[in-house]
């Protein structure tokens, strides 16, 4: 738990349906954009989902039900912009680009995450079942709690079932064949991946209790196919 002004922001983020995904004091090389008035950002706060608990807040939202494009992006922006207005920050989003903002690099500064063999970030608690929906940049250094690093859970995983879980071998160390993956998911043979999510991702034992529900997994897979 953060202390000081960040504690109020953390509570407000949780109340809005977003998970607190850590914060850090910006340093040279973090590539955090300047604020709208040209001021240099001094603190970056990341917000998103962790596990399956936050999905229901989005699923019950107007954006999830209105039939318009990009419902999750629109819901995330609405929630984060409300926090930005309340706390005086500037919203930043992974869906904006090119150029794309380095959210994965920021995530490793904000909390303990590591690059998994699949290329996506793994968290010691949440495993592969988490996401970053946006960030808030502040002109003041709000002195976030330093990140405690214990080491990647992948380091002690000899079997690496994530690398053998794909039924069409679309994944290998340092390679992801997204075209082969999409072709499989669109086919009758890929119905399991479409409805329950990527088999390779599901093969990871870390944080298995936090795996996405079928509804959330299918939402993301259909968004991937689009």
76 plus 52 within the same structural domain: yes
Tell me what the mean pLDDT of segment 28-33 comes to: 95
Alpha carbons 221 and 226: distance in angstroms, whole number: 9
Report the number of distinct structural domains present in the chain.
2
Q: How many CB atoms lie within 10 A of CB 33?
A: 12
Query: Over the stretch 156-214, which tens digit does the pLDDT of each residue have?
Result: 999 999 999 999 999 988 899 999 999 999 999 999 999 999 999 999 999 999 999 99
Q: What pLDDT sits at residue 158?
A: 94
Angle in degrees, CA 38, 43, 44, rounded to 5:
95
Tell whether 162 and 133 lie within a shared domain.
no
Is the pLDDT assigned to residue 3 strictly greater than 80? no
For the stretch 47-60, pLDDT in tens is 999 999 899 999 99
Q: Is 52 exposed, middle or buried (0-12, 13-18, 19+ CB in 10 A)?
A: middle
Same domain flag for 124 and 191? no
Q: Are 120 and 158 contained in the same domain?
A: no
pTM of the model: 0.93
**Domain carrying residue 63:** 5-138
Reported as a single tens digit per residue, the pLDDT across 76-122 is: 999 999 999 999 999 999 998 889 999 999 999 999 999 999 999 99
| 131 and 181 belong to one structural domain | no
User: Does residue 127 sit in the same domain as residue 157?
Assistant: no
> What is the four-CA torsion angle of 107, 109, 115, 119, rounded to 10 degrees?
40
């Amino acid at each position: 738990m953060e202390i000081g002004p960040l504690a109020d922001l953390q509570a407000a983020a949780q109340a809005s349906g977003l998970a607190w995904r850590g914060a850090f004091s910006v340093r040279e090389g973090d590539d955090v954009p300047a604020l709208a008035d040209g001021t240099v950002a001094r603190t970056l706060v990341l917000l998103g989902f962790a596990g399956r608990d936050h999905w229901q807040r989005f699923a019950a939202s107007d954006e999830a039900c209105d039939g318009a494009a990009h419902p999750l992006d629109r819901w995330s922006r609405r929630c984060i912009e409300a926090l930005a207005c309340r706390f005086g920050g500037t919203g930043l989003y992974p869906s904006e680009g090119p150029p794309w903002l380095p959210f994965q690099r920021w995530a490793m500064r904000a909390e303990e995450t590591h690059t998994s063999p699949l290329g996506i970030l793994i968290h010691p608690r949440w495993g592969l079942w988490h996401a970053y929906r946006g960030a808030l940049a502040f002109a003041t250094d709000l002195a976030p709690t330093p990140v405690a690093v214990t080491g990647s859970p992948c380091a002690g995983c000899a079997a690496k079932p994530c690398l053998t879980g794909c039924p069409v071998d679309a994944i290998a160390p340092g390679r992801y064949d997204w075209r082969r993956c999409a072709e499989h998911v669109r086919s009758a043979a890929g119905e399991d991946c479409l409805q329950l999510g990527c088999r390779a991702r599901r093969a990871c034992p870390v944080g298995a209790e936090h795996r996405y529900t079928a509804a959330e997994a299918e939402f993301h897979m259909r968004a991937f196919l689009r």
